[in-house]
Amino acid sequence: MKLVVKVIEARNIPAMDLNGYSDPYVRINLGKQRFRTKVVKKCLNPYWGDEFSFRVDDLSDELVISVLDEDKYFNDDFVGFVKFPVSKVFDSPDKSLPTAWYPLLPKSEICLHICLSQNSSYMDLSNITAAPSQRNDNVDSESFSTASRSSSPSRLEAASSANKNDECLTNKFEPSEISKLQVSEGRSDDLVSPASFDDLMKTMEGKDQGIELPTNLPGGVLLDQLYLATSSDLNALLFSPDSKFPVALAEFQGKTEIHFGPWEFENENLVRLNTYLTAPSKISKSLKAFETQTYKLANGKSFAILVSVSTPDVIYGSTFRVEMLYCITPGPELPSGEQSSRLLASWGMNFVQSTMMKGMIENGARPAVKESFEQFSTLLSQHVNPVDLKGTGSQKDQVLASLQAEPQSDWKLAVQYFANFTVVSTIIIGTYVLFHICLTAPSTIQGLEFVGLDLPDSIGEVIVCGVLVLQVKRMFELVARFIQARSQKGSDHGIKAQGDGWLLTVALIEGSNLAAVDSSGFSDPYVVFTCNGRIRTSSIKFQKLDPQWNEIFEFDAMDEPPSVLEVEVFDFDGPFDEATSLGHAEINFLKANVSELADIWIPLQGKLAQAWQSKLRLRIFVDDTRGGNAIREYLEKMEKEVGKKISRRSPQTNSAFQKLFCLPPEEFLINDFTCHLKRKMPLQGRLFLSPRVIGFNASLFGHKTNFFILWEDVEDIQVASPNLSSMGSPIVVITLRKGRGLDAKHGAKTQDAEGRLKYYFHSFVSFTMAHRTIMALWKARSLSPEQKVKIVEEDTETTSLQTEESGTFVGDEDISMTEVYSSALSVPMNFLMELFSGGDVDKRVMERTGCLNYSCSPWELDKDVYERQVCYNFDKRISSYKGEVTSMQQKSPLPDKNGWLVEEILTLHGIPLGDCFNLHLRYQIEDRAKGCYVKVSFGIAWLKRNKHQKRISKNILSNLVDRLKVMFATVEKEYVNGR
């Protein structure tokens, strides 16, 4: 007979190390048999999932399970332990203790599953019960019998199986009996007796101590819907043990072996543990899942349930848990008089262990979670009717309608504001002086006094007069500040936005832990919102560190969706002093999901805000009131500024653009241009322009460069004269505002003394078109009307080249390289490398192959490889267009051979359809005994789709092979002549 122990996980392990973590492991003893689990580094909620088997020789033995913290230099620290007599497991139904949490310390717990298994049949095992007296003499069964009776599983009969050896007997009954059996010595009083779900909800309601509804999880909102049911009915439908909806949902989602545990109190929270097998998918098989549901709030009207799902069998499954938060609150009363409730579900990833795979895990879990909630929403709408938002107003209107501004009485605020030491001391001193004047006779004129001028007669009187003046000045400032603040109250609140376009609505709910800067230990905070040059100001809250505003601000309609909302909190210091900043924040709509902004806590930045951990709670809504014609109207406006028709891009092109820069769906591509980004070395890539951003993407030798900057961050755009480094083309220099664009710093060439980043772009195929488009978008987005008047628009008209910056953006793809030339040359490798040196041999060979005006930069070492830039023109023999070629070359030693690897990327300018592709060449040169061996591979990187791709590829390949033959033949001739 064997005893099988499965150590699943633990939680709330105390921090034993100085770094605030522990390195826990479990040691299991049964007689002289010992086992231990693996050590989980730096974790307070470890997961093991290890299973151990012990040979049972005596039912009087005790199973001891200890949790320890590993210490490399000293003895391991003891955390806690639990004991189980083997006879207790033997006497239990089905010879097993179900999966349960067992206490180690007042807050620490461990999850275990213990059962007996046998090598013979179940009937043979029953023969061991012939000696009950032997078991009872050595087992303290009294302390465990209470725990066994207090648990509330609805157990089923276990069917014996004579053909399955070494199988845990727990598998023979429905695991819906899984209960969180709290077993420990002296802890039986903490266990709860079976109770109905309604009784448990009433118990939770009685324990409510003003707990607030939890905020949304950081992963985003999955479902936000009103339903035609009360909040308590909706809660019972979703989580009651008697409800059929959870079972129907599990079957609808393809889950099997579903086991729902009973609801039980644990650490003042109502908890239950469910297990099931997930449905198999295209990328994973069916997995075992452990789901813990915990009531965080249940006050009879509002409910908050946190669901934590652990899948230990998946890769890195022990490092994370998927969490979902269900918030059920009363909804608005419908026009028919019926009650409604609001279900708000959000999700997030809880990493219990640090791992480098966080990004990949989150990206992999997000689609699965969203698909699961789509199924949840579909099935829930079949059980309870969702409320049609069209008949009751939009979601924004419903959310904002529930906000009620805090009533502010002027007299109450005045008493609260003036009830301080300064005011009280001034009144006392002023009253004292007034009585003194009334009780004393006028003093005689003496010293330098004359009638009407009464001077102090001692130093004490001078000090008293000074104190009086300072007190009166302070009182005057306080009164003036209060009057000005009250005149500002709600000045922007309730002002409706005007016009059609993008409408931004911001609801300022509350603040938390704002910094105290007044001598009273409080602040007088107010908030300033800035978006697209428009400013909205909240009312001032006197003497508050956790103010409640509940104010709504609307910004006038904008032609383009807003990019950034700037938020700054100030302390009101009166009409004469400069306001003190309590913190600031920036909400980037391009990087944030709009649905996540419906209710968000934003941390404030700044020294004071970070020291106090200040936060603001906002509700932000962005709507487009113009419908589907917004893009067409914007492009028509840009066409007038640019002076050329702009075609609307296809949905596939826009989707590729949004995916490339991780932009929201409302952002659309206006135009894109082939150009070079000038840094230490020019980098050929593609510039993308949209209403809110200017982005650049390139891939050079496998290294990708990808960034974007906001038009609002651009302070100045200048055009520099052409030079050799810009390959003879003008340079567009974009300068950002100070402190802006730091996440795109890697794309800037320089940073001036003021800390402003500068970006250099050149070698546009159609410079005039690119420059006019860039200037038009910048002026439309970033400049104020006054600045637009000062800038003189360029009226120079130039004929564009035969190629137009149009087509479909394909994006970066792996380049397929094909060997096009190989030969053994009777030339030493060192002489052949003169072909890439920039010397006389290099120039003569290039001229012989039809390359005119050849120029190159010296080789520069960059990250263990050498780089240089080459520029030349084709003569008529190669191209009738006499196009210009710019290329980037890299050379590096071959890793395992005596030789060099030279890689080259060529860009063609002034040639029809030359902006649709780049040419990639790879020269592999190896040293041989009587010369060298050279192999050339070739590939084409298509930047745009073109119907002439096959013809272009064939033409380039034939010309390239001819050039390579001439090139290496010329090298051999130069070597012979040089000898």
For the cut 90, the answer to whether the pLDDT of residue 199 exceeds it is no
Mean pLDDT of the residues in the chain: 77
- Residue of higher predicted confidence among 785 and 13: 13
255 and 375 fall within a common domain: yes
- Residue of higher predicted confidence among 124 and 839: 839
Q: Does residue 473 sit within a domain?
A: no
pLDDT-derived band at 118, boundaries 50, 70, 90:
low
Residue 877's nearest CA partner among 838, 851, 907, 843 is 851
**Residue 89 belongs to a domain with what CATH number?**
2.60.40.150
Q: For residue 592, how many C-alpha atoms fall within 13 Å in the half-sphere facing its CB?
A: 20
Burial (CB count within 10 angstroms: exposed 0-12, middle 13-18, buried 19+), residue 890:
buried
9 and 91 fall within a common domain: yes
Instruction: Report strand pairing: 931-942 vs 818-825.
Output: antiparallel
- Residue of higher predicted confidence among 172 and 779: 779
688/674 Cα distance (integer angstroms) = 9
Residue 924, C-beta contacts closer than 8 angstroms, at least 6 positions apart: 894, 899, 901, 934, 935, 936, 937
Instruction: Report strand pairing: 62-69 vs 47-55.
Output: unpaired
| Share of residues in the chain with pLDDT > 70 (%) | 80
Lowest model confidence (mean pLDDT) among 184-193, 379-388, 496-505 = 184-193
Out of 351, 372, 388, pick the residue that ends a domain: 388
pLDDT of residue 390: 45
Out of 117, 138, 157, pick the residue that ends a domain: 117
For the cut 60, the answer to whether the pLDDT of residue 369 exceeds it is yes
Average pLDDT estimate for 521-525: 82
- The 10s digit of each residue's pLDDT in 453-500 is 877 878 888 888 888 888 888 777 777 766 666 665 554 555 566 667
| Share of residues in the chain with pLDDT > 90 (%) | 9
Q: Is 230 helix (H, G, I), strand (E, B) or coil?
A: coil
Q: Is 909 helix (H, G, I), strand (E, B) or coil?
A: strand
767 and 823 fall within a common domain: no
746 and 848 fall within a common domain: no
pLDDT of residue 664: 83
Domain of 356 in residue numbering reads as 198-388
- Residue of higher predicted confidence among 71 and 186: 71
Lowest model confidence (mean pLDDT) among 144-158, 415-429, 884-898, 951-965 = 144-158
**Residue 902 belongs to a domain with what CATH number?**
3.30.530.20
Query: What single string gives the DSSP state of each residue in 302-347?
Result: -EEEEEEEE-TTSTTGGGEEEEEEEEEEE-PPPTTS---EEEEEEE
Q: What angle do CA 568, 570, 574 make, to 5 degrees?
A: 150
Contact (Cβ atoms closer than 8 angstroms) between residue 564 and residue 531 = yes
Out of 388, 418, 439, pick the residue that ends a domain: 388
875 and 941 fall within a common domain: yes
Residue 87's nearest CA partner among 105, 123, 63, 108 is 63
937 and 953 fall within a common domain: yes
638 and 616 fall within a common domain: no
* Residue that is written with structure tokens 């932000």 in the block: 620
Q: Does residue 951 sit within a domain?
A: yes
Average pLDDT estimate for 736-759: 88
Residue 39's nearest CA partner among 16, 62, 55, 64 is 16
Q: Which of 39-43, 417-421, 445-449, 643-647 has the highest mean pLDDT?
A: 39-43
911 and 828 fall within a common domain: yes
- Residue of higher predicted confidence among 162 and 969: 969
pLDDT of residue 97: 87
253 and 291 fall within a common domain: yes
Contact (Cβ atoms closer than 8 angstroms) between residue 260 and residue 290 = no
pLDDT of residue 620: 87
619 and 704 fall within a common domain: no
Q: Does residue 461 sit within a domain?
A: no
Contact (Cβ atoms closer than 8 angstroms) between residue 570 and residue 579 = yes
- Residue of higher predicted confidence among 194 and 912: 912
Q: How many residues does the chain have?
A: 979
Q: Does residue 892 sit within a domain?
A: yes
- The 10s digit of each residue's pLDDT in 773-822 is 898 888 877 655 444 444 444 433 333 333 334 444 444 445 788 899 99
Contact (Cβ atoms closer than 8 angstroms) between residue 528 and residue 568 = yes
* Angle, in degrees to the nearest 10, between helices 245-252 and 358-383: 120
Determine the residue type at 27: R
> Could you give the number of structural domains in the chain?
5
- The 10s digit of each residue's pLDDT in 125-167 is 333 333 333 333 333 333 333 333 333 333 323 333 333 333 3
For the cut 80, the answer to whether the pLDDT of residue 304 exceeds it is yes
pLDDT of residue 238: 92
Phi, psi at residue 926, to the nearest 5°? -120, 140
For the cut 80, the answer to whether the pLDDT of residue 407 exceeds it is no
* Residue that is written with structure tokens 């637009």 in the block: 788
- Residue of higher predicted confidence among 389 and 559: 559
Q: Which of 96-105, 156-165, 276-285 has the highest mean pLDDT?
A: 96-105
- The 10s digit of each residue's pLDDT in 660-716 is 888 888 888 888 888 899 887 788 889 999 888 899 998 877 788 899 999 888 989
728/869 Cα distance (integer angstroms) = 13
**Residue 658 belongs to a domain with what CATH number?**
2.30.29.30
For the cut 50, the answer to whether the pLDDT of residue 634 exceeds it is yes
Q: Does residue 809 sit within a domain?
A: no
Residue 224's nearest CA partner among 395, 355, 372, 366 is 395
Helices assigned H by DSSP within 189-302: 197-206, 231-239, 245-252
- Residue of higher predicted confidence among 964 and 591: 964
3-state secondary structure 753-796: CCCCEEEEEECCCCHHHHHHHHHHHHHHHCCCHHHHHHCCCCCC
Please give the model's pTM, rounded to 2 decimal places.
0.49
Question: What is the 8-class DSSP label of residue 94?
Answer: G
843/838 Cα distance (integer angstroms) = 7
pLDDT-derived band at 366, boundaries 50, 70, 90:
confident
Q: Does residue 431 sit within a domain?
A: no
549 and 646 fall within a common domain: no
346 and 259 fall within a common domain: yes
User: Other C-beta atoms within 10 Å of 490: how many?
Assistant: 15
Average pLDDT estimate for 216-233: 84
User: Other C-beta atoms within 10 Å of 824: how many?
Assistant: 12
Average pLDDT estimate for 859-875: 81
pLDDT of residue 165: 35
Average pLDDT estimate for 208-232: 80
pLDDT-derived band at 630, boundaries 50, 70, 90:
low
Q: Does residue 580 sit within a domain?
A: yes
479/498 Cα distance (integer angstroms) = 36
Q: For residue 141, how many C-alpha atoms fall within 13 Å in the half-sphere facing its CB?
A: 18
Q: Which two tokens stand for residue 33?
A: 């048999």
Residue 144's nearest CA partner among 190, 85, 193 is 85
Q: Does residue 507 sit within a domain?
A: yes
